[in-house]
Chain A
Amino acid sequence: MTPMYLLKRIGILIVVIWAAATLIFILPRLATSRNPIAERMGQTAGAAGYLSHNVEEMVKVWEAKFGLDQPLWKQYMYHLKDIVTLDFGYSLAFYPSRVNTLLSSALPWTICLFGTATLISFLLGSLAGALLSWPKARKFLQYLLPLCLTLSAVPYYLLGLVLLFLFAFTIRIFPLYGGHSIGIVPNFSLTFILDALRYSVLPGLAIFLSGVGFWSLQMRGVMVIGLEEDYIYFAEAKGLKEKRIFFRYAIRNALLPQVTALSISLGQMISGAILVEVVFGYPGLGTLLLKAVSAFDYNLISGIVFVIIFIIAIATFIVDLLYSVLDPRITYKRRTK
């Protein structure tokens, strides 16, 4: 890996994050007909049964407090500063909670669930795909192919619904809803972790199963082409052991396109994972997003969306760096013609 490549990649990372920050600044301001502060004030006043004739003035005061009376470019500068310091202000729907507090309580759930399930499905799926393509593997493996195909075509959250019906409603072995038992405060004790694990099995399984389907098909496709390459024949001719050819020659080379696919599809995958959380009422970013959307809490929506884009940008960055480590042929030097 050359420093030039690293710099370029960091550049892309910064552009993505800047674009995300700008996006969440511009979009809410395009909806000029909708003023979240006025809406919130109206709701609160209405809920309290209080008919106020000076709501307008209150809205003005609050807009000044949030800096919404400043010129647009100034607001943008403040916004960028807030993003750099990772400060998303107050939540409008859960006032006086700050967006950061809400995010930091939801984020670990999503990262643990999505990260673990994706990693395991990537590794096992790739291995399964490699075995599917291996001519000397057991015959019964071939029957798994249609299953993988079906699994990969089903969106995560729909699979989640089916799992929920089978294992939480019909056979009641797993809980129906939430991330931990009610009454247990999240902490690092063994009881809590075991409890949380029990609640994570079904949503994790939903992400895992469709992931395995997808990765095994991808891997099989790459492997089948790779197995016809000369270096495989050469390795066989040299009399290398099966196992060594399989792992060190075939899989090693097929992993490269796999990693590229991982880097491209992370964004798609987290979209699915967010919806899985909604289906299971899992206390991560997805469920928080649903709450924010239904309350039109745009600070919170912006915060969640920015964090999601940020996580994916960082993850893609890491995967890309990993790629250049995995493939020693790549130097990322400008090719001279």
Chain B
Amino acid sequence: MKTMKSIWKNFSHTVASCRNNPKLLIGLILILFLVFFWLIGSIFVNPKRAQPISGLPDQHPSYQYPLGTDSNGRDLFAVMIVGTGLTLRIGFLAGLIGLGIAIMLGFISGFYGGLLDTSIKGIVDVLLTVPPLAVLVVIVAMRTEAITLNFMILIVAFLSWMLPARTIRAQVLSLRERAYISMAKLSGMNNLEIIIKELMPTLMPYLAAGFVSISATAVLASIGLEALGLGPQYLPTLGMTIYWAISFSALLRGMWWWWLPPVVIIVILFIGLFLLTAGLDLLANPKLRRIM
């Protein structure tokens, strides 16, 4: 109960500090804009129109097709709505899974130390130097069945947790030595209780920033894979739309309505996520205020 209360307190604190943290505010607005675009769009536009041959191919934007159609007869306005939803889902779920991994390894590494810490830190250091796309390409290219969205979410999540895990570890390492942790130990709390009741609430802003940055990395990786044609082939995600646009040379054929909208949405998403991370970092570490 106490934990809930402190989380709530943190949350209301966050909302209050939005006012003097324009980055957080603008980032939130951009992300919410995309969420509403998806939600409201889903009400008015039939998602079936994002499937191939639901309209005439190669149509210019018109009243009937607000963003035209592609060469396979997908209504691109519907594709954008469905695709935004799918991409947001990838970011959200991959962010949760990645944060889970980062929290587990970060806390174990920082709190228990010793051999565990050394090996986890080693793994993180090695993984950080490996280009994630290279590994993802191998994993995905070797699969027989068509790639599903959930498989995609899992694998991008597994390669995006390293930096936040490192941040969390560093924070835990410094918090571990504080007096109130020793106090908690003396009063008979076990390690797990200390982690959940004492450390987690303190680190809330860091965890939030970690979540957002994992989401951003995961979305970036997923769109990269999709642009190589290694995404869920049957789903109209934003990255797959870019892949189709490239392979049908939409650019050379002057079909700007095919490739430009997904680019714009992705850019809005990334700027939003970037500002959110920066804003949350600021919240976690008010010393940074001078930078922002």
Contacts and interface: CB of A to CB of B under 8 A. Distances in A.
B271 interface: yes
Contacts of B143: 31, 34
Interface in A2-36: 12, 15-16, 19-20, 23-24, 27-28, 30-31, 33-34
A328 to B, nearest CB: 23
Nearest to B132: A271
Contacts of A158: 242, 263, 266-267
Contact of B291 (A19, A225, A268, A289): A225
Interface string A196-237: 000000000000000000000000110011001000000000
B230 interface: yes
Given A34-B144, A149-B274, A155-B223, A293 B137 contact: yes
Interface in A130-173: 149-150, 152-155, 157-158, 161-162, 164-165, 169
B141 A298 contact: yes
A295 to B, nearest CB: 10
A308 B254 contact: no
Contacts of A312: 129-131
Nearest to B274: A153
B246 A268 contact: no
Contacts of B263: 158, 161-162
B290 A275 contact: no
B141 A293 contact: yes
A3 to B, nearest CB: 20
Nearest to A146: B271
B141 A270 contact: no
B-side interface mostly: helix
A293 B217 CA distance: 23
Interface residues of A, number: 59
B282 to A, nearest CB: 11
A30 B142 CA distance: 8
Nearest to B139: A27
Contacts of B266: 155, 158
B228 A23 contact: no
A104 B282 CA distance: 46
B254 A305 contact: no
B138 A275 contact: no
Contact of A154 (B130, B134, B270): B270
A224 B291 CA distance: 6
A301 B270 contact: no
B251 interface: yes
A84 B275 CA distance: 45
Q: Range of interface residues on chain B?
A: 35 or more
A267 interface: yes
Nearest to B141: A293
Nearest to B269: A153
A80 interface: no
B134 A305 contact: yes
B206 interface: no
Nearest to A286: B228
Interface in A220-278: 220-221, 224-225, 228, 263-264, 266-268, 270-272, 274-275, 278
A279 interface: yes
A174 to B, nearest CB: 13
Interface in B118-135: 122, 125-126, 128-135
Interface in B246-265: 246, 251-252, 254, 256, 259-260, 263
Interface string A300-320: 011011001100110010000
Given A16-B130, A153-B271, A267-B130, A221 B137 contact: no
B126 A15 contact: yes
B224 interface: yes
Nearest to A15: B126
Given A23-B138, A31-B143, A271-B134, A169 B129 contact: no
A191 to B, nearest CB: 26
B168 interface: no
Nearest to A274: B133
A296 interface: yes
B240 interface: no
B229 interface: yes
A176 B254 CA distance: 13
Given A158-B266, A279-B246, A308 B131 contact: yes
Interface string B129-170: 111111101110111100000000000000000010000000
Contacts of B131: 266-268, 270-271, 308-309, 312
A275 B227 contact: yes
Contacts of B252: 169, 176
B228 A293 contact: yes
Nearest to A29: B142
A164 B228 contact: no
Contact of A23 (B125, B135, B242): B135
Contacts of A279: 227, 246
Which 8 A-B residue pairs are closest in the complex by CB-CB distance? Answer: A271-B133, A267-B131, A31-B142, A153-B270, A153-B271, A153-B274, A305-B134, A224-B291
16 contacts: A16-B126, A16-B129, A16-B130, A20-B130, A30-B142, A149-B275, A157-B224, A165-B251, A176-B252, A220-B291, A225-B291, A271-B224, A294-B229, A305-B135, A309-B130, A309-B131
Given A225-B290, A309-B134, 6 more contacts: A27-B142, A33-B144, A155-B266, A221-B288, A274-B133, A294-B229
Interface of B: 122, 125-126, 128-135, 137-139, 141-144, 163, 217, 220-221, 223-224, 227-230, 242, 246, 251-252, 254, 256, 259-260, 263, 266-267, 270-271, 273-275, 287-288, 290-291
